[in-house]
Structure 1
Amino acid sequence: MRLLRFFCWSSLAAFCGLVLSFSGAFLYLSPSLPSVESLRSIQLQIPLRVYSSDAKLIAEFGEMRRSPIAFEDIPQDFISALLAAEDDNFANHYGVDLTSLMRAATQILKSGQIQSGGSTITMQVAKNFFLTSERSFSRKINEILLALQIERELSKNEILELYVNKIYLGNRAYGIEAAAQVYYGKSIRDVTLSQMAMIAGLPKAPSRFNPLVNPTRALERRDWILGRMFSLGRIDQQRYKEALAEPINVSYHVPTPELVAPYIAEMARAEMVGRYGSEAYTEGFNVTTTVPSDLQLAANTAVREGLITYDQRHGYRGPESRLPGMTKENWLTELSKQTSLGGLEPAIVTGVEKSGIMVLLRNGEEHAVAWDSMKWARPFLNTNSLGPRPQQPADVSQIGDLIRVQPQDDGSLRFVQLPAAQSALVSLDPNNGAIRALVGGFSFEQSNYNRAAQAKRQPGSSFKPFVYSAALDKGYTAATLVNDAPIVFADDALSQVWRPKNDNNTFLGPIRLREALYRSRNLVSIRLLQDLGIASTLSYIERFGFDKKDLPPNLSLALGTASLTPMEIAEGWSVFASGGYKTEPYLIEQIEDRTGKQLFNANPAQTPTGIAQRAEQNSTIQLSTGDQPLPPEPVLAEQIIDGRTAYIMTSMLQDVIKRGTGRRAMALGRDDLAGKTGTTNESKDSWFSGYNADYITTVWAGFDQPESLGRNEYGGTVALPIWMSYMAAALKDKPSHLLAEPEGLLTLRIDPHSGRAATPDTPEAYFELFKSEDSPPPMGEFEPGTYIPGSPLPADELAPIDLF
C-alpha cells in the first residue's frame, strides 16, 4: 500500500509538473504567437499569367507553380489518401494527436535524436504558415500551441484547404493542383486513385519520394498509402488491387503555352514589373493582352518562313558542327545540349543515300529527309555568290553533321539551316493603337533582343511619306511637278560633296508628286525637303511620335536616314491609316487579381471609328453578362494632320502597290492596300510598311550587325513577302476596308505633263484628288514669274548649301 501510494503521488506530481511546465511555456510564448485569424486572409504566392485576347495562355512567370483549389473541388479519394498518409485521426483530434507525440518521444528516447515530429496536419499548417523548419523543442512547442489555436478558430475543411494549397510537392510545384499538372499534365480532379496516392505521398519528403527522381521509392510509398486506405476502409478490395496494378505513368509537364509569343510575354512581364514591382510574380495577376492568337500565329509563320526563304536564296553555310565516328549514345548526348530554335530541330546525319539522308533527333528517333528538300543547298561563298548546284545528298551532308530540320504538317522533315539574318514585325490597330501581333526576331530562345521595339535602324524610303505629307499640308498636291534631276550639295568647310542619286541612276525630269512617290525618286524627296525647310519639316514630323534626336537635321532625312524602331515606324504610319489621328501603341488590355476582380481596363485614346467599335463591343458585353461595371468614358485621339491629307496620302500609297515598288502585293487580290518599301544604302535594311483601315503592319529585315543583304535584295524582295504572308492571313475573308472620303476634296481631270487642270481635249488626262482650296487652275492662268510650289527651283537656289 505504501508503494502504491508513493507511485500514485509521484504520477500526480509528474502530471502536475507537466501541466505547470506546459502552462508556463504557454504563458511565456503566447504573447509572441501570431494571430491565427490572419490565415483567413493569407495570400499564397501565385505566378503571373499572360493571355492572348482570346484567352490562350502565352506565359507564366514566378518561382512557385501554384493553382489554389477550393475544398469543395478536392476529390474525396485524395482527402482519404492524404489523411491515410499524414494524419488518419485528423477528424477526431483538436490539433494535437497525443498518440503521435508519444510515439515521437519514444523514438527520441531510443535513438537520442529527433526522427519524426508527430505532427498532425494542423500542426503542419502552423509550421508552414508561421514557423521555420528548424528542429528544436521550442519550435515544436510553438507549433503545438498554434495548432490548438487554429483548431479553435478554423473548421477542419478550412485547415485542409490551407494545407493542400501550401505544401511543397517537388519540381517547383506548390499545392496539389500544381503537382497534378506537373507530374500528370491534368487537374487533381482528373487523375486516377493511384495517381492521387502518389501525390499524397510527397509531403513527407518531396525529393525522396519524387516519382521522377526516385520511382522505386515513390512506388513503395504509393503502395503503402493504398494499403492504409484499404485497411482504414476508405476503398474496397477491387479498387485497391486495380490501383496497385497501375504503372507509375509519370512525366515532367512544363506549363505549355497555348500560344507561342515570347516577345509579347516579355513585354507584358516588363510592364507588370514596372507597375507592381516584385509582387507581379507572386500576387496571381492575370494579364489579358491585345493580341489575338490567330494573328500572332500568322506573324510567327510569316517571319520564320520569310527569313528561311531569304536565307536559302543565299546558299548553305554548312553544318553547325561535325561529329563523325561517334556512337548513337554520344550523338544523343550532343543533341541533348541543343535546343529547338524557331521551330527548327537539331538533328545529326546518320546515313546518306541517293534518295536523301537519315537523321537522329533528340528523342532518339531516326527519320528520313528527302533529297527534294535539300536541292536548294548550293554552297555559300559570300552574300552575292553561290557555289555549284548539288547533284546528290552527299554533296550537301556527311554522316555526323549536326544540322537543322523543320517538321512539316504531313510529318515529314525539311532540310533547313538557322537563318543568319533577322526580322521584326509589328501590327497595330490604327483606330486605338492596340498591338495585334509582334515578332522581335527569328527565335526568342536564340536571342531575346526585341528588334521590333529596341532595334533602331534607318527606314530608307519607307520614311518618305512623312515628308510628302508635310508637302501636302503646305500647299503641294499629288499633281504638283517636281524636278527629278541631278543635284549637288557641298560643304566648303569640310570639303565634302554630296551627290544624291536615284537607285537606278536615272532621272525623269519634272514628275508629278504621286508618280515620284510610287517610283521612289530620291531627288524629288530631297527637293521637297529643301523647299519646305528642314526645321519646319522636323517639327511637322515630330507630331507622328518620333523623337527629334533620332531625326537628322539635314537633307538626308528625306532619304530615311533617321534611326527608328519598327514600332515607331508603325506608330507613325498609323496616322495615315486612321485618317490623321495619333494613337499610342499599347499591349495590356486588362489586369485581374487572383479572385478575378478587374484592376485595370485599358482606355486608350481612339479615333471616332475606334470609339464606335468599342461602344458596340461594350454593349455586347453588357447584354451577355449584365453585371459588368460600366466602361470608362472614351478618349478621342488628337488629330495631328488634316484628314484630307491622310486620305490623299493613302491614295498615293495605294499606287505604290498598284504600279510601284510594292507591286508584288497585288497578288493578295485586294484593292484596299496602301504601303511603301524601304531599302537603305548597300541593302543593309529592308522595310515594308502597309495598311488598310483594319491593320497597319511594319516589317524590317536585316542583320543585327549591319551588312548587305545582297545584290538585288530590297524592301520588295525581303520585307514585303513577310508582310504579304501576314496580311493575307490577317485579312482573310474580311471585306475591303478603307476610310471614307472626308469632305473638302475634289476630283479633277489633270494634264499629266503640266499637273494643271486639263481642257476637254487634253490627251492622256487623268483624274486626281485635291483639297478644295488647293485645286490647280487650268493652263494659262498663272502670272508670269509666279513660283509654283514643287516646280523646278531657280538656278540660284541650287547653289551648294551646308549639309551638316
Structure 2
Amino acid sequence: MVPSTIRESFFMPGMHPTFRKLFIIFLIFVTLCVAAGGFAIGALLGYMDELPSIEALDNYNPNEVSRVYDRTGNNQLAELFAAERREFISIKLVPDHLTNAFIAIEDERFENHYGVDLRGAGRALWMNLFGKRREGASTITMQVARGVVLKDSRVKLSRKLKEVFTALQMERHLSKQQILELYMNHIFFGARAYGVQAAARTYFNKDVRDLTVPEAATLAGLPQAPSRLSPTKNKEAARDRRNLVLNNMRRLGYIKTDEELQRYLDTPIELNPAQRPPGKAPYFADYVRAMLTKENQGEDAAEELARKGYTVISTVDLKIQQICEEELRKGLEKVEEAIEEQKPARMSVEASEMGSVKKGQRRLATIRSIDGRKMTVALQGNTAVVNLPENLPYYHPDKILRTGKLIDIYISSVKNGKMEAYLGDKTYVQGAAVVLDAHNGEILALVGGADYEDNNNSGQWNRAFQGGRQPGSCWKPLLYASSFDVVDQNGNPRFTPGTVMDDSPFSVGAWAPKNYEGRFYGPTALYEGLVKSRNIPTIKLFMAIGARAAVSLYNKFNMVNPEGWDLVAVPPMALGTPDVSPLSLAGAYSVFANGGVGITPTPYKRIYSTKSPGDSRVIRPQTNQILSPQAAFMTVRIMQDVINRGTGSTTVGKWIMEEKNKGRKLPEMAAKTGTTNGCKVAWMVGYTPDIVLAIYVGYDEDRSMGPKIVGGGNVGPIWAPTMDRILQTRDDWKMKFVTPSGIAFADICSKSGNLATSSCYASGNNVYKNAAFKTGSQPTSSCSYHGAGSYQGESETEDVEGAYPMAPQGMQYQQPVAGGYY
C-alpha cells in the first residue's frame, strides 16, 4: 500500500482533503465525458459512413418522359415509359422570380445556412409544441437529401438524422446553385408533373422562362400538398397559398413595392393546361414503344428507357394516318354489313352440312324477340333465351339485333325443343392497315384495329404487327418473283412469266389441291397463274423450285425480322398458310416497288436525348438486294394486271378507270388480293412507285366471315378510297415504275406463254400485252395452242384468290432436286 503521505504529496500537496476529493471526482467526470464524447464521435463517424454517397448528385439523372412526335417534329403523339412527367432544366434557365418564390416559402435563409436552419428548427419546435399550427423545419437542402439521396420519406428519427447529416455533406460539396437545380428538377407538383419545367407546361402550357410572378408563386406553393392545393381541383386554396408566397416575397424584398404586391395579389389564377394528344396515332405510338423496348433488350428495358428522356422524331404522316384510321373503320362497318347480307346463304349451307341441332354447334338462329338484355331465338323448332352483353360486339347493333334477323349462337345443350345457348359473336370484325414509303422504309401510317381505346374488343392488341394472320394468295407474288431469279446450271432463267404449268388434277400424298373455282384450266402461263391467283400452277412452281430452296427464298422477304418467318417446307405453304403481320407483308411488297431492294421498315427518323447526347442517333435502316431489278419489275407488270384484269379489277380497277375517265392522272399501281381458307381473313396489298398499302380484315377468333367475304370484293373497297385520299395529300408522286435495263417486252398468250396471235385474241382467253422478261428470255415463237385442237375459253371476272384445302396432318413430302438460284 502507498503511504498516505506519498498520496497527499502526489495529488496536490497542501490542498485541503475535501477539495482534493472533489478535484479527483472532477477529473474522473472529465475523463468519462471525454471517453463518452470520443465514443459518440466514433459512433457518429461510423453512422455517417453508412450514409449514402452524395457523389451520385454529380451525375443526377432523374427519370424523364420520352416524347414521340410526328415526322415534322411539330406534333406530339405520345409520352412513353415514365410515370413521372419530367423535363430537366438548367438552373441558368430558371428565372430569378421563380427561384425567389421557392426560397420565400420553403427556406428563406437558404443562402445563409449550411444545410440545417437552427433558427427555423427552433421556431418549428415551438410552434409544434405551443402554437396553433404545425410547421416543418426541412430546408431546401434537406428536402433534396431526403428525395434524391436517401429516397426515404418515412417519419422516423433515424431518417431525420440521416437527412441532417446528408444535408451538411451536400453543403460542403455542392454550391447553392447546384442544390437549387436539383430541387427545382426533382420536386412533385401533382398531375404527374415533376420539376418546374413539367409543372409550367402542365398548368400553364408555358416554358418555365415565360412564367409571370403570380404563376411562379402558384407553382412554388404546390409542393407542400400538391393534391390539396392543386389549382385544377381547389382554386381557392391554391390562391391563398400563392398569396402567402407573394407576401413572403414582399417581406424578403423580392417584390419591391406594396403596389406591385397588390397587383399580383389581385391577379386571378388563369390555368392553361397543356393539351396532350393521347389519341393521335395510338397504334403507331404503340409500335414506337415496342421497337424502343426491343432495341433496349433486357428485363429492365422499360425502366432504363424511363431514364433516357428521348425525343423521338417519328416517320408518321398524320394526314395519312388519319386517312387510314377513318377508312379502315368505315370499311370494317361495311364488311359487317356484308357479313349480315350473307347470313341467309350461310344458314342454307349450315343446314346441309351440319344437319339437325346438336350440342356444341355454332350456328345461325332466327331472332324471335328482344326484351332488354334478353333475346329469344329459334332454330329448327327449338328455342332459347340468349343473354346479351352490356357491350355488344357490333359496330351497328341496331341493324343486327332485330326481330326476324339471323344471329350467331353457340349451343350448349338441346332437349325437348329447348336449347341453352349464348351469343356466338364475341368481338366485332377487326382489321389493320399499314403504309410504307417504298424507298426508305419509313412507316407513314400504322393502324392496328378499329379503336385503340376499346378494351371490350381487344383494342390495344396491335394487329398491324402483333401476332399474324394467314395471307392467302397475297403470299403468291413472293414465290413468283423469286422464281424469275432461279437459274439453271448454265445461268439461264429457269422460269419466266411465259413458263407454262399444267393446271390439272394431281395430289401430293393424301392432299389433292384445287383452285378456288373448283375447276382446272389446263396449260397456264405463270403470268396468268398470278393474275388469276390459280392454286395449282402455284403449287407446281413451288415443287419445281424445291421446298427447302423456296423457304429460303421466302424468308429473304422478311424485312421486319431478319430471322425470317416460321415456315414449314411443304407445298400448302405456297398458298399462304404461314402467319404474317400486315407490317411484314407490306415490307415484303416494298421490294417490288423499290427495284428489288428490301429495306427494314422503321417508325422513327431521329432519336436524341438532351441528357445523353452520345445516345442520340439518326436512323439508317438496313437494305438488302432481295431480287434482281429485272425480277422485281417483271413481278410489278404482272401485279398491275391483277388490278386491270384479275382479282382486283371489279373494285380497285374500276375506281382507277373511273378516275381516269374524269381526266385525273394517277400513278401506276400494282396489287394482289388474298383470302384464306373458309374466308376467315381477307387482304389487299398494293403499291405505287412510292408507297405500299396493306390492309386486312377478319375476326380475332378463328372463324369465317362468310362464304363470299374476299379480298378483291370486300377489302378492295377499303383499299381504293384509302389510296385515293392518300394520293390527294401530295402532288409530287412518281407516276411510273422505273423500267430497269435488261428488260424486253412481249405480248403473250395466257395458255402457251408464247407470242400472241390473232387466234389467241379470238379464243376468248387472255392475252397479256407488254409482259416483261429478262432480255434474252422472252418468247420468240408464236402460240401454237390456239387453232390446234379444242380449248376451253374463260370469261370469269370474279375474285378467285381464295380457298385451298388444307394438307392432312403428318403428310410426308419428298423434296425434289432444285436448280440454282440467287
Return the TM-score normalized by structure 1: 0.71
Q: Which residue of 1 aligns with 2:745?
A: 747
Q: How far 1:533 moved relative to its partner?
A: 4.1
Does residue 274 (structure 1) correspond to residue 274 (structure 2)? The answer is no
Does residue 168 (structure 1) correspond to residue 184 (structure 2)? The answer is no
Q: Which residue of 2 aligns with 1:477?
A: 496
Q: How far apart, CA to CA, are the structure 1 residues paired with 2:760 and 2:471?
A: 39
Q: Given the superposition, is the C-alpha separation of residues 734 and 205 from structure 1 closer, same or farther in structure 2, using an over 3 Å criterion? A: same
What amino acid sits opposite 2:644 in the alignment? K
**Unmatched segments (≥5 aa) in structure 2:** 1-29, 342-365, 375-389, 410-424, 487-493, 660-665, 786-806, 814-822
Is the contact made by 1:384 and 1:711 (CA closer than 8 Å) also made in structure 2? no
Does residue 644 (structure 1) correspond to residue 630 (structure 2)? The answer is yes
Q: How far 1:441 moved relative to its partner?
A: 1.7
Q: Given the superposition, is the C-alpha separation of residues 525 and 191 from structure 1 closer, same or farther in structure 2, using an over 3 Å criterion? A: same
Does residue 463 (structure 1) correspond to residue 483 (structure 2)? The answer is no
Deviations 1:1-48, CA, capped at 9 Å, x for gaps = xxxxxxxxxxxx9xx99xx89988875655455555543321122123
Q: How far apart, CA to CA, are the structure 2 residues paired with 1:136 and 1:756?
A: 92
The 5 Å alignment of 1:275-674 reads 277=301, 278-314=303-339, 379=402, 381-382=405-406, 420-445=428-453, 446=455, 447=458, 448-474=460-486, 475-485=494-504, 487-489=505-507, 491=509, 496=510, 498=512, 500-503=514-517, 505=518, 507-545=520-558, 550-595=566-611, 597-599=613-615, 601=617, 604=620, 637-663=623-649, 664-666=651-653, 667=655, 669=659, 670-674=666-670
Q: How far 1:778 moved relative to its partner?
A: 1.9
The correspondence for 1:776, drawn from 754, 775, 779, is: 779
Q: How far 1:178 moved relative to its partner?
A: 2.0
Does residue 119 (structure 1) correspond to residue 142 (structure 2)? The answer is no
Is the contact made by 2:470 and 2:578 (CA closer than 8 Å) also made in structure 1? yes
1:453 partner SS: coil
Q: Which residue of 2 aligns with 1:349?
A: none
Q: Which residue of 2 aligns with 1:721?
A: 717
2:405 partner SS: strand
Q: Which residue of 2 aligns with 1:63?
A: 83
Q: Which residue of 2 aligns with 1:791?
A: none
Deviations 1:327-352, CA, capped at 9 Å, x for gaps = xxxxxxxxxxx99x99x9xxxxxxxx
Between the two proteins, the alignment pairs up a number of residues equal to 662
Q: How far apart, CA to CA, are the structure 1 residues paired with 2:235 and 2:84?
A: 23
Is the contact made by 2:436 and 2:445 (CA closer than 8 Å) also made in structure 1? yes
Q: Given the superposition, is the C-alpha separation of residues 137 and 750 from structure 1 closer, same or farther in structure 2, using an over 3 Å criterion? A: closer
Q: Which residue of 2 aligns with 1:394?
A: none
1:713 partner SS: coil
The correspondence for 1:48, drawn from 44, 66, 79, is: 66
Is the contact made by 2:339 and 2:705 (CA closer than 8 Å) also made in structure 1? no
Q: Given the superposition, is the C-alpha separation of residues 272 and 182 from structure 1 closer, same or farther in structure 2, using an over 3 Å criterion? A: farther
Q: How far 1:143 moved relative to its partner?
A: 3.8
Q: How far 1:665 moved relative to its partner?
A: 2.5
Is the contact made by 1:657 and 1:675 (CA closer than 8 Å) also made in structure 2? yes
1:741 partner SS: coil
Q: How far apart, CA to CA, are the structure 2 residues paired with 1:374 and 1:702?
A: 18
Does residue 757 (structure 1) correspond to residue 744 (structure 2)? The answer is no
Q: Given the superposition, is the C-alpha separation of residues 532 and 167 from structure 1 closer, same or farther in structure 2, using an over 3 Å criterion? A: closer
Q: How far apart, CA to CA, are the structure 1 residues paired with 2:99 and 2:426?
A: 51
Q: How far apart, CA to CA, are the structure 1 residues paired with 2:483 and 2:48?
A: 81
Q: How far apart, CA to CA, are the structure 2 residues paired with 1:322 and 1:176?
A: 53
1:274 partner SS: coil
Moved more, 646-655 or 252-261: 252-261
Q: Given the superposition, is the C-alpha separation of residues 720 and 266 from structure 1 closer, same or farther in structure 2, using an over 3 Å criterion? A: farther
Q: How far 1:451 moved relative to its partner?
A: 1.6
Q: How far 1:70 moved relative to its partner?
A: 2.2
Q: Given the superposition, is the C-alpha separation of residues 102 and 508 from structure 1 closer, same or farther in structure 2, using an over 3 Å criterion? A: same
Q: How far 1:650 moved relative to its partner?
A: 0.4
Q: Given the superposition, is the C-alpha separation of residues 86 and 724 from structure 1 closer, same or farther in structure 2, using an over 3 Å criterion? A: same
What amino acid sits opposite 1:678 in the alignment? G
2:464 partner SS: helix
Does residue 158 (structure 1) correspond to residue 178 (structure 2)? The answer is yes
Q: How far apart, CA to CA, are the structure 1 residues paired with 2:716 and 2:50?
A: 70
Q: How far apart, CA to CA, are the structure 2 residues paired with 1:686 and 1:207?
A: 51
Q: Which residue of 2 aligns with 1:3?
A: none
Is the contact made by 2:308 and 2:611 (CA closer than 8 Å) also made in structure 1? no
Q: How far apart, CA to CA, are the structure 2 residues paired with 1:641 and 1:293?
A: 32
Identical counterparts, % of pairs: 33
1:454 partner SS: coil
Is the contact made by 2:753 and 2:783 (CA closer than 8 Å) also made in structure 1? no
Moved more, 287-296 or 160-169: 287-296
Q: Given the superposition, is the C-alpha separation of residues 129 and 526 from structure 1 closer, same or farther in structure 2, using an over 3 Å criterion? A: closer
Q: Given the superposition, is the C-alpha separation of residues 301 and 94 from structure 1 closer, same or farther in structure 2, using an over 3 Å criterion? A: same
The 5 Å alignment of 1:699-710 reads 699-710=695-706
Q: Given the superposition, is the C-alpha separation of residues 652 and 231 from structure 1 closer, same or farther in structure 2, using an over 3 Å criterion? A: same
Q: How far 1:205 moved relative to its partner?
A: 2.8
Q: How far 1:261 moved relative to its partner?
A: 2.9
The correspondence for 2:121, drawn from 101, 107, 119, is: 101
Is the contact made by 2:54 and 2:149 (CA closer than 8 Å) also made in structure 1? no
Q: How far apart, CA to CA, are the structure 1 residues paired with 2:812 and 2:173?
A: 81
Q: Which residue of 2 aligns with 1:39?
A: 57
Is the contact made by 1:591 and 1:598 (CA closer than 8 Å) also made in structure 2? no
Q: How far 1:653 moved relative to its partner?
A: 0.3
Deviations 1:205-257, CA, capped at 9 Å, x for gaps = 33443344555543432332233334444444455444444555558768434
Q: How far apart, CA to CA, are the structure 2 residues paired with 1:321 and 1:268?
A: 48
2:194 partner SS: coil
What amino acid sits opposite 2:290 in the alignment? M
What amino acid sits opposite 2:84 in the alignment? M
1:436 partner SS: strand
Q: How far 1:705 moved relative to its partner?
A: 0.3
Q: How far 1:656 moved relative to its partner?
A: 0.8
Is the contact made by 1:458 and 1:563 (CA closer than 8 Å) also made in structure 2? yes
Q: How far 1:714 moved relative to its partner?
A: 1.3
What amino acid sits opposite 2:607 in the alignment? I
The 5 Å alignment of 1:169-318 reads 169-235=189-255, 236-249=257-270, 255-257=276-278, 259-262=280-283, 263-274=286-297, 277=301, 278-314=303-339
Q: How far 1:704 moved relative to its partner?
A: 0.3
Deviations 1:480-526, CA, capped at 9 Å, x for gaps = 444444x14374xxxx56351333x4554434332332222333323
Is the contact made by 1:290 and 1:435 (CA closer than 8 Å) also made in structure 2? yes
2:771 partner SS: strand
What amino acid sits opposite 1:555 in the alignment? P
Is the contact made by 2:602 and 2:621 (CA closer than 8 Å) also made in structure 1? no
The 5 Å alignment of 1:141-152 reads 141-152=161-172
Does residue 91 (structure 1) correspond to residue 107 (structure 2)? The answer is no
What amino acid sits opposite 1:769 in the alignment? A
Q: How far 1:68 moved relative to its partner?
A: 1.8
Q: How far apart, CA to CA, are the structure 2 residues paired with 1:803 and 1:643?
A: 36
1:773 partner SS: coil
Return the TM-score normalized by structure 2: 0.70
